[in-house]
Structures are given as C-alpha cells and as structure tokens.
Amino acid sequence: MDFIFNAVMVLGAIALIAAFVLFFVSKKFAVIEDPRVGQVQEALPGANCGGCGYPGCSGFAEALVKGADSGSIDGLFCPVGGREVMTRVANLLDMAIANSEPMVAVVRCNGTCENRPRIAVYDGLRTCAAMHSTSTGETGCGFGCLGCGDCVSACQFDAIHMNPETGLPEVVDDLCTSCGACVKACPRHIIELRKKGPKNRRIYVQCVNMDKGAVARKACQVACIGCGKCLKACRFDAINIENNLSYIDYSKCKLCTKCVDECPTNAIAMVNFPVRKPKSTKQVPHTEKAVTPPAEQSAPKAYVEENKEKVKS
C-alpha cells in the first residue's frame, strides 16, 4: 500500500509542477491577436485563392491590419471581393482605399485549329505542364496554348472554359475575379491580367510567339511577325516591340483601333467593340448629257459643211 501511495504522490507532484510550468510559459509567450484581424477576415469572401498575394484570407487580413497600423493599405486589394469588400474592410479599419481598375484575364493566343494546324500527336499525361516539359506540343508553335486545360482546373470560379471547336480557353468576363490562378497555372504564360477598360473594351496582341516573322507565320497564320506597322500607327506610345513580338500597354492605350487596322496578320484582338459598318460607296449623281446623233458623229466634217450650204440655198 505504501508503494501505491508513494507513486500517486510522485505523479501528483509532477502533474502540479507541469501545470505551473505550462501556466508560466503560456503567460510569458502568449501571442495577443488583434481583434480586428478576425473582423476583417469575416468581411473577406473566404475564397483563399491567393489572388491578393497572401496565403489565404487570414494572411491577407493580418496584412491589412498591419497596413492600417502603419498608416496605409494602398496596394492591398482583394480581387474576388472587389471594391465593395475593400470598402467594407476600409470602414472597419478607418482607412481610405485608392481607386483600382477592375482587371480580367485574357488569353494571348489565337492559334485555333484552323490558324495553327497540328503536326504531331502527344501520347502522355494530358496536362499542359507535362506536355510543356516533354515537347513543344502538337503544333509547330512552341509558344502558344497547349490546350490541355490546366487553367480551367485552376479556376475556382468557373470563369474559364475550353472551346472544343477552337481548342483554346475562353474567359467569361462576368465570372472572372482576376485572382490570377489561371495565370500561374499556364506553363507558357499566355494568360495575363489586363484592365477591363471602359465598357469592357480592350485591345491586346493575341500572340506570344518570339520567333522571327517568317518562322512565326509558318507555325500560325495569325502570329505577330514584329513588322512594326502597329508601332508606327500608334500616336500614344502604347506599343513596343521586343524579341520580335509586339505588346500593347493597357495603361497608355486609348482604344483608337489604329493598330488593329494596320496589322497585316490580324494578330491584334479587339474585344467588345461595336461591329463596324461596311464602307458605303458614294453614288455619283446622274447628269444627262446631250447625245449627238450617230449620223453626225460618224459623218466627215466636209460632208457636214456641204449639207449646211444646201440647207441655206
């Protein structure tokens, strides 16, 4: 009995000491969380997509609170919630937010089945990442879309789908939150986030091929050949050409469509613009002219003069 009693006393003493140690450590190293973090996190959509640049909404909420403590939350934006959510967050933190332009994902490739014929058959894991790591794909273009749909799998908002006829991904503007998941998923970097533009209108070069003109055109009929005609047509310094590829800066573009008219390969996309009316041919007003009788047209001058003399006599 004494053995059992001693064991109980020893274990009880150890438990008591451990409890005191845990209590001391919890007080000494306690992390006090700002209650605003939880409030901000509740205001966020909870998508945890990473489009804000932070690992989930909790990390973004902490960044917002730290930014508010430092005096500014500029540069912090939730692409899923948009301006409405950011306004609510700013009110919670007693901060002001800067105006931010709505963005949308665009696919910078127009290599459809017609424009970019298949020259090979890929027999392997049907993902863009796998195909890109093993080969140039099933076409002659080593820069364009691989068509396996990694971007579709990455999108959490059902905003991008593969078109079975063209073999290319298409973005649904109304569903796209500009989270950037599709941009990260594409191994060839053909998807980028661009400003939606007024009335959802935007102009961009729908090609990322950096080969020289003849090589690029051979691989795809609508490839950018770096001819520079769009650069000369732009009056706003919105276009630059680098590595045989033209690029339009959406922050400078005024949507004048001059570059679209000048592109010889139709490599520049023009989205949500009204359909252009065909140029009407100007009708020349009809004016009646005096018609000379056939006999007088063909009669010699001497014959005409002789007949006039006869008439006078």
Is 179 labeled as ligand-binding?
A: yes
Contact 118, 139 (CB under 8 A): yes
The DSSP bridge pattern shows strands 103-107 and 191-195 to be antiparallel
Output the CA torsion sign for 273, 274, 279, 283. Answer: negative
Give the pLDDT confidence of 165-199 residue by residue, as tens digits: 999 999 999 999 888 899 999 999 999 999 999 99
Q: Do the annotations mark residue 141 as ligand-binding?
A: yes
Where residue 306 falls among pLDDT bands split at 50, 70, 90?
A: low
Whether 57 has a binding-site annotation, put simply, is yes
The pLDDT value recorded for residue 170 is 96
78 assigned to a ligand binding site: yes
Residue count of the chain, please give it: 313
Give CA–CA dist 52/38, Å, rounded.
Answer: 18
**230 marked as binding residue:** no
Higher pLDDT, residue 280 or 86: 86
- Ordered structural domains, the chain, with CATH: 35-93 (1.10.15), 103-271 (3.30.70.20)
Looking at residues 45-67, what average pLDDT do you find? 88
pTM: 0.70
* 113 in a labelled binding site: no
